Chains A and B, each alone.
Chain A
Amino acid sequence: MKKVSIEEHIKIVEDLVKEFGEENIYNTKVPRAYRAFAHVKREKLRDIVRYLKEEHGFVHVTTISGVDMGENYEVVYHLRSEGFSFSLKVPVPKDDPKVPSIVDIINGAVLYEREVNDLLGIFPEGHPDPRRLILAYDWPEGVHPLRKEWDIQTIREKVDGKRWGKDVE
């Protein structure tokens, strides 16, 4: 097996910062070999993903996670090239929960973007088929369970019309 050192991965991240500038890629960190994290401006996301795919072989998307960070949302794109997993974090303001879709660049993202739309209500703009994927068909609009303002009892109150469970009885 080919041994990969952390220097090679740092080099890829530095190259990316050089290409797009520090205002578009910031908070980069490489905690160990094979792993890297970086914040990315929403407007530049598609360019960066395309650049990573074409120049560094990041053709595989492991998953897309959505996180409610309090003052904003973050959509995290976990891309992978061979063994190197690069997590691009895109801050999304709460009053405009949208991200550009990357499905046409990396086809494998097709279900993950729908999942994030379901569970956090962050709409992938330009997705070919952005319908509901995971939640029940009679689930009320506007209830996105992974947002921090929804706890279990408020979800039940909204969906079932009453609070229930072992804490209530």
Chain B
Amino acid sequence: MSILTWARTHSPWLIHFNAGACNACDIEVVAILTPRFDVERFGALLKGSPRHADVMVVSGSVSRKIRDRLKRIYEQMPDPKFVVAVGSCAISGGVFQDCYNVMEGVDKIIPVDAYIPGCPPKPEAILDGVVKLLMSAGY
């Protein structure tokens, strides 16, 4: 493993983006930061700006108005970048399939590296998903 990969996989910085979610996934994403789950022991840190982030955690079914923002935020992230789709909505639109203002999934807009199913996924599942992503990136 190169020292670069080692450094990257041991301190992935996350950005959380709500693309029209119902907030259930969002509060679970925030819950993984809190004392019981504590994602920071894997070196992960939630950042505010996409320019600082390596991994984008996207929740929500991607509404039409947010679509361009999602693309723009993705483009602002420096390479190498990863996208994690959290929740059924982010994977396929979930219960909001066939709503006129919904694009039915994050992967229709930007490439996605990991999918975490659930409505909402439990914090343990989100942790597991992030760890699996890091493994596949050479942890």
Contacts and interface: CB of A to CB of B under 8 A. Distances in A.
24 contacts: A135-B64, A135-B65, A135-B101, A136-B64, A136-B65, A136-B101, A137-B65, A139-B64, A145-B100, A145-B101, A150-B100, A152-B98, A152-B99, A152-B100, A155-B100, A156-B100, A159-B64, A159-B100, A165-B97, A165-B98, A165-B104, A166-B97, A166-B98, A167-B98
Interface string A150-169: 10100110010000011100
Chain A contact residues, majority secondary structure: loop
Closest 3 CB pairs of A and B: A136-B65, A155-B100, A136-B64
A136 B104 CA distance: 16
Contacts of A159: 64, 100
A144 B15 CA distance: 35
A21 B100 CA distance: 42
A132 to B, nearest CB: 10
Interface in B60-114: 64-65, 97-101, 104
Nearest to B108: A164
B91 to A, nearest CB: 14
Nearest to A150: B100
Nearest to A154: B100
Nearest to A143: B100
